Structure 1
């Protein structure tokens, strides 16, 4: 299977938003299920694409997954500092998992970061239970940065996100 990574086209936004939402729901990553307000953010690919670069992985003209690449200083950044790019909302259709889609998407983000003037690192946040993603990050040279771990919903104590960094 040849996987192509490229910027998502507007005609793919709805499908990619649904892949992202269903991946997070299916993996139990949203505390409130369908009523979780973050679900709307996951589905709103057009909003992300207006503020960052949304990449899609396709094979046989079918979207398999996507990721949001936030260049240094982008408005979609959660934890990136000046000179750092950030990876957000990585998701792979459950039916396409185990085929290298997630790794290809992360590699594409790293390549974009290397091509960005002044970018010295790539950072990301991940949930504790995303063990497959952790293995991808570590295999590609990302290291844990526990001093940057954070909680996006302070009123819920159990949502501390783990952080990783790849120095370029």
Structure 2
């Protein structure tokens, strides 16, 4: 049985572990070309932290998952609107997946969004074929918004958008 998961705001000391977890998580999906430059993008935790907020999930003092929260009009915003908080790059260490760490972070993002003035929804994009991720978001009350779906510019892979009112 896994130990309790705690969530906190990431610090600069967490950047290397966040990068490791994020890249490992995305590689484990098998959805990306192993040589994709996207891995460089998601590994740049320092830049992400300079333009957004990051949360980490820990167990026994070890970072096991991370997520990025983005506001409208900022560098990492993909799909969020002015009244939304965008959740991106939810990543759980492959050794820890399906033990509740991702769910804990999703709930923490929703809770954070509820505390923000002018934010009425949390929005996110996930892969169209990422069934476990989609199941998690749907089980947490997120609804698919098909009119906002889009495609990866580099390879045309389908991306689906979910939102949840807060």
| Coarse TM-score class (shorter-chain normalised) | over 0.9
Q: C-alpha displacement at 1:72, in angstroms?
A: 4.0
User: Helix, strand or coil for the counterpart of 1:19?
Assistant: helix
Q: CA RMSD in A?
A: 1.2
Q: C-alpha displacement at 1:7, in angstroms?
A: 1.2
Query: In structure 2, how many angstroms separate the alpha carbons of the residues matched to 1:61 and 1:122?
Result: 28
The correspondence of residues 3-152 of structure 1 with structure 2, limited to 5 A, is 3-30=5-32, 32-33=33-34, 35-152=35-152
Q: Note if 1:162 corresponds to 2:160.
A: yes
Count of residues paired in the alignment: 164
User: Helix, strand or coil for the counterpart of 2:158?
Assistant: coil
User: Helix, strand or coil for the counterpart of 2:150?
Assistant: coil
TM-score, normalised to structure 2's length? 0.94
Q: C-alpha displacement at 1:22, in angstroms?
A: 1.1
Query: In structure 1, how many angstroms separate the alpha carbons of the residues matched to 2:58 and 2:146?
Result: 33
Query: In structure 1, how many angstroms separate the alpha carbons of the residues matched to 2:92 and 2:121?
Result: 24
Note if contact 1:73-1:84 (Cα within 8 Å) is conserved in structure 2: no
